[in-house]
């Protein structure tokens, strides 16, 4: 499913409104964890089936998010912003497992909109253009280098795949470069002296918010049973049984 230009424009307006409402500035990178904490979105990171990136739930006036810790940190950050669309923008949202970052491969319009909302919010155009211009890569025509791509994904703390889709859509790279640069993001980042935590899974990423993190810590320290922990999660209306908790190969 391909997104229409008018739909992108509508999402840009929603992103601008969201940034204004939450004092995020017009073109600055955002700290996703701090934003979730400020919005009161209780977030837990857990190994899930590789197909699922995460899900969000509203229950009794509270917001809850589950994110696949077997994905890279950058992909998790994209997933969290994708889920923010469901929680704070999408009307009549019904909780369901998501596969964030598929863009044109999405078959559900709201999943497509959530991907593009995340791309527009997490990777603001003004910052991209300034970075490319400062690198001397805008004249006479855009010719971004992989070094600039690495800098941008570190600035945004996002996945390589999502950033490349964003840059191609902006006309800053070609499809051929998108396909070439998608491979081995950690190795290529290392070539330019960038840290590689962004490209790794996070088996011990700390939960965000109150109550749930305390329950998670208590469970990890064997202070409560698995049944107790599951009951706490169910307090937020979350049933993990139909998602699958197999760790992908």
pLDDT in tens, 160-173: 999 999 999 999 99
Question: CA 43, CA 100: separation in Å to the nearest integer?
Answer: 16
Asked if residues 111 and 1 have their Cβ atoms less than 8 Å apart, the reply is no
Question: CA 121, CA 82: separation in Å to the nearest integer?
Answer: 9
Give the torsion sign (CA, 137, 138, 140, 146): positive
Helix extents (H) in 22-135 = 32-39, 73-88, 109-122, 125-134
Domain definitions of the chain by residue range: 5-123+200-242, 125-197
**Residue 248 confidence (pLDDT) above 60:** no
- E-state strands within the chain: 41-46, 54-59, 62-68
pTM, rounded to two decimals: 0.86
User: What mean pLDDT comes out for the span 83-102?
Assistant: 92
Position 132 scores a pLDDT of: 98
**Residue 60 confidence (pLDDT) above 90:** no
**Residue 109 confidence (pLDDT) above 50:** yes
Question: CA 22, CA 181: separation in Å to the nearest integer?
Answer: 34
Asked if residues 69 and 231 have their Cβ atoms less than 8 Å apart, the reply is no
Kindly state the tokens that stand for 147: 């070094």
Q: In what order do the strands lie in the sheet with 62-68?
A: 41-46, 62-68, 54-59
Residue 214 confidence class, pLDDT cut points 50, 70, 90: low
Residue 212 confidence class, pLDDT cut points 50, 70, 90: low
**Residue 243 confidence (pLDDT) above 50:** no
**Residue 229 confidence (pLDDT) above 60:** yes
Kindly state the tokens that stand for 76: 């998790």
What's the pLDDT tens digit per position in 11-50?
Answer: 999 999 999 999 999 899 999 999 999 999 989 898 888 7
Question: CA 195, CA 51: separation in Å to the nearest integer?
Answer: 27
The chain-wide mean pLDDT, for the chain, equals 88
Of the candidates 132, 158, 130, the one whose C-alpha atom is nearest the C-alpha of residue 147 is: 132
Question: CA 148, CA 167: separation in Å to the nearest integer?
Answer: 11
Position 226 scores a pLDDT of: 63
């Amino acid at each position: 499913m391909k997104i229409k230009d008018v739909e992108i424009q509508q999402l840009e307006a929603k992103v601008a409104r969201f940034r204004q409402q939450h004092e995020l500035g017009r073109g600055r990178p955002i700290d996703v964890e701090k934003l979730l904490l400020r919005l009161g979105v209780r977030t837990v990171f857990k190994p899930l089936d590789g197909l699922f990136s995460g899900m969000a739930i509203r229950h009794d006036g509270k917001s809850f998010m589950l994110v696949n810790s077997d994905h890279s940190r950058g992909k998790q950050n994209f997933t969290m912003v994708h889920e923010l669309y469901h929680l704070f923008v999408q009307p009549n949202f019904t909780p369901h497992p998501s596969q964030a970052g598929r863009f044109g491969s999405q078959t559900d319009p709201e999943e497509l909109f959530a991907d593009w909302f995340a791309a527009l919010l997490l990777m603001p155009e003004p910052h991209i253009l300034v970075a490319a211009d400062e690198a001397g890569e805008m004249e006479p025509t855009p010719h971004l280098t992989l070094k600039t791509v690495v800098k941008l994904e570190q600035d945004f703390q996002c996945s390589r795949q999502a950033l490349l889709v964003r840059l191609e859509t902006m006309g800053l790279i070609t499809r051929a470069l998108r396909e070439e640069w998608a491979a081995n993001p950690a190795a290529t980042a290392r070539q330019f002296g960038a840290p590689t935590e962004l490209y790794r899974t996070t088996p011990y990423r700390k939960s965000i918010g109150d109550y749930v993190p305390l329950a998670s810590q208590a469970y990890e320290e064997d202070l409560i049973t698995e049944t107790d922990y599951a009951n706490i999660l169910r307090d937020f209306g979350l049933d993990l049984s139909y998602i699958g908790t197999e760790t992908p190969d």
